[in-house]
Amino acid sequence: MSLRWQAAVLDPAKAGGWAVVHCRQQFLSDPNGVLFPRDWLRRLELPVASEHGLGYFDGDPVYLLELTDTAEVPGAHWQGLRQFMLQTPDNDLFRMLGYAAQIGTWASQHRFCGRCGGPMTQHPGERAMHCAACGLHQYPRISPSMIVLVTRGDELLLARSPRFAPGVYSTLAGFVEPGESVEQCVEREVREEVGVAVRDLRYRASQGWPFPHSLMLGFHATYDSGEIVPQPEEIEDARWFGLDALPALPPPRSIARYLIESYLAERQGREPPQLHV
């Protein structure tokens, strides 16, 4: 666990500290970064929907200002969370921003009670939204999903979605359905997305994935049978790639890249990589 970033429930009623400003997977940034003096931000009359105490970064309290819409701030600009993932070398900072994005998304989607329609407020002392009218508690949402690297000896089965950057291929992934295990999800999603069967599932690692609120459970699986048939509208292309002829891959900080690099290291007798986030 990082010592630089530590999540904690802080009281927004207290003054001082730093703040990050978030709206729809984007953060306010300036040449000094994404942490702004909180008291200075309060004087700007930003369209704040809610404020949340996030925790501590380098020992200083950090809060989140969740906006209803992006606003212009002199000398600052808005930058997407994916840009930070690609450009920010500081893993601790990205972990904090990923956490802030998840809390901000959850808060903006739970301003009103889903059971009775009443307004919801922050519950003191815990990370929860509370409806005074009917007593419902809503905690931050986590959506379990699986991500799997399928291999056949020195070949990797990689696919691309129409949403990917041009030329990039990745591992297969999908959300866990109600009532199924993660292992069943792996087998089902691989079958649905590329039409093949797999065996010998091995759990490798997990990663919180704040796009917007997933927990990615990473697996390695061995090809069993079938021919590749890409799922229409979901998979643009899928094919086997040799170890020495891989396409453009996902960014290094992603668990998809970790699964690929881990298998390459295993086949080539190298030390396995570390999953930093």
Residue 185 has pLDDT above 80, yes or no: yes
**Per the confidence metrics, is the pTM higher than 0.95?**
no
Helix, strand or coil, per DSSP, at residue 194 = helix
- β-strand 60-67 against 18-23: which pairing, if any? parallel
Cα–Cα distances in Å, from 66 out to 5, 58, 69, 212, 249? 20, 22, 9, 14, 33
**Is pLDDT of 2 > 70?**
no
pLDDT of residue 135: 96
pLDDT of 1: 46
Peptide bond into 212 cis (omega under 30): yes
pLDDT at 87 over 90: no
Q: pLDDT of 94-105, one tens digit each?
A: 999 999 999 999
Work out the pLDDT band at 5, boundaries 50, 70, 90. Answer: very high
Provide CATH code, domain 5-109.
Answer: 3.90.79
User: Structurally, what CATH architecture does the domain formed by 143-268 represent?
Assistant: Alpha-Beta Complex (3.90)
pLDDT tens string 94-134: 999 999 999 999 999 999 999 999 999 999 889 999 999 99
pLDDT of residue 86: 85
The pLDDT score that the predictor gives to residue 277 is 63
Q: What's the rounded mean pLDDT across residues 149-163? A: 97
In three-state secondary structure terms, 94 is helix
Q: What secondary structure, in 3-state letters, does 12-37 show?
A: CCCCCCEEEEEECCEEEEECCECCEE
Q: Which two tokens stand for residue 142?
A: 């986590």
